[in-house]
Chain A
């Protein structure tokens, strides 16, 4: 008697991705290396190349004031909110209300302002965030889980991005919004959204609060030198005297605890250099770093 097949059961066994493939947030496998198959001008535009390579895209927010870290956090909140509207997002400050499409993308899910929360916690006076761990704590006040990767390397950064998590980092910025090495005088925060390899080497894709370019593409080596270059700042002048130069009547934040570097400068490497702030919603596990309660 011939075998009669009356039904069947499909069994799916997930296989680990090959070493050169990673899994994007939507579950699709993608090549870890997104090499442009054609150069810009010969088919694929620069914008298209960058878009293909992003694992953790974030909407743009243009900052108002010395608030780059807080707007970076806002962009990350927007990214999670876009994936699932139950994830909270907030405005940085009331001034944002006149800037829909520029200072914010989604209606906030809370009336709390990121700047107000950071000020109330004693982390900042004007929006500046020279301690990465305090930026992470600010994120947690909005219901996110946030870790700080200390002494982070580029490999740590890639691991965060491979998980589909945007990475908030600080670096020394030049006039074009790109990484430079100026000793920390121009410390600035950005969100890294992905990376890819091309003929010139590994390239990071970033966005930050200046909004002068849709997406920045940075040679990874150049960024690596830049976040290691964050040595000192003159923002507070001599730290601990409760005076912020150029801002009479504004006191140093209560929890500003930067060591004095002498010469009217504060040391920032330990608080800001080579740090990754990884912000994820509850239920999503960060890939590393430590939480600051």
Chain B
């Protein structure tokens, strides 16, 4: 069971539900060790679903009022996709694994950040005019991983700025404070608008 406020995704039953509403069926054959992500905005949610554990990922846009589940992003093969929101538009973090791992952040299908290698799984969020995500800006060529930081990305220019080095975790933006909660640390970053 994966929860995000009043929204619950039940991997065993392959359903998602809001509050006491009847559950909506989704194809969520994730490995329970790595359940899918859920981003919620009002009456809709972006849900990570998959046709197989660690492979064939999809992002579904769930409309709890209309009770619909629409696929808005997908690819076949090993990897994962998670969806977030930016100015009301879906923003996807897409990780392709396999022999040549490659990661991309896509806004309206356009890549605003791309790197060879692997990146931490996490829902990117918007803050003003920038997208925030926990990323490794310089993954090692052999291991495909690297030290991670809270990174601001300008979707228009694709410019990136590492704000503070920290461990990956869910990002929560409240006002001018960003909280990233990893397994062993919770970091609050106070942002200054320039």
Residues of chain A in range 170-223 having any CB-CB distance to chain B below 8 Å: 173-178, 180-183, 185-188, 198, 200, 203, 210-214, 217-219, 222
Given the contacts A176-B95, A186-B34, A213-B99, A46 and B184 also touching, CB distance less than 8 Å: no
- Supposing A211-B78, A212-B54 touch, asked if A46 and B97 sit within 8 A by C-beta, the answer is no
Contact of A222 among B34, B54, B118, B145 (CB under 8 A): B145
The 8 A CB mask of B130-159 against A (1 = contact, 0 = none) is 000000000011111100000000000000
- Chain A CB within 10 A, most for which of B11, B183, B184: B183
Q: Tell yes or no: A39 within 8 A of B by CB.
A: yes
User: Would B183 and A180 count as touching, CB distance under 8 A?
Assistant: yes
Given A173-B33, A175-B95, the answer on whether A217 and B142 have CB atoms closer than 8 Å is: yes
Q: Distance (Å) between the CB of A144 and the closest chain B CB?
A: 27
Given known pairs A213-B97, A213-B99, A217-B142, the reply for A174 and B184 (CB within 8 Å) is no
**B-side contacts of A262, CB under 8 Å:** none
Least Cβ distance of A62 to chain B in Å?
Answer: 9
Whether B104 is near chain A, meaning CB under 8 Å from some CB there, is no
Closest to B101 in A: A213
Whether A200 contacts B143 by the Cβ 8 Å rule is yes
Asked if residues A49 and B142 are in contact (CB atoms below 8 Å), the reply is yes
CB-nearest residue of chain A relative to B55?
A212
Q: How far is the CB of A54 from chain B (nearest CB, A)?
A: 14
Cβ-defined contact, B145 with A213, below 8 A:
no
Whether a CB of chain A sits under 8 angstroms from the CB of B121 is: yes
Across the interface, do B142 and A46 meet the contact criterion of CB distance under 8 Å?
yes
B97 touches A39 (CB 8 A): no
Q: Is B192 an interface residue (CB 8 A)?
A: no
Q: Are A198 and B78 in contact (CB under 8 A)?
A: no
Instruction: Tell me whether A198 and B142 are in contact (CB under 8 A).
Output: yes
Query: In the complex, are the beta carbons of A47 and B99 less than 8 A apart?
Result: yes
- Among B120, B143, B184, the residue within 8 A (CB) of A203 is B143
0 or 1 for each of B50-62: is its CB under 8 Å from A? (1 = yes):
0001110000000
A188 touches B33 (CB 8 A): yes
Cβ-based interface call for B109 (8 A): no
A178 and B145 contacting across the interface, CB-CB below 8 Å: yes
Q: Is the CB of B184 within 8 A of A212?
A: no
| A-to-B contact residues, CB < 8 Å | 36, 39-41, 46-47, 49-50, 66, 173-178, 180-183, 185-188, 198, 200, 203, 210-214, 217-219, 222, 229, 246-247
B interface, CB within 8 angstroms of A: 1, 11-12, 31-34, 53-55, 78-80, 95, 97-99, 101, 118-121, 140-145, 167-168, 182-184
Contacts A39-B141, A210-B54 given; 7 further ones with Cβ under 8 A?
Answer: A47-B99, A66-B31, A66-B33, A177-B97, A212-B78, A212-B79, A217-B142
27 A-B pairs (CB sep. < 8 Å): A36-B142, A40-B141, A46-B141, A46-B142, A50-B142, A66-B32, A176-B101, A178-B144, A178-B145, A180-B168, A181-B167, A185-B183, A187-B33, A203-B143, A210-B54, A212-B54, A212-B55, A213-B97, A213-B99, A214-B99, A217-B142, A217-B144, A222-B145, A246-B11, A246-B12, A246-B32, A247-B12
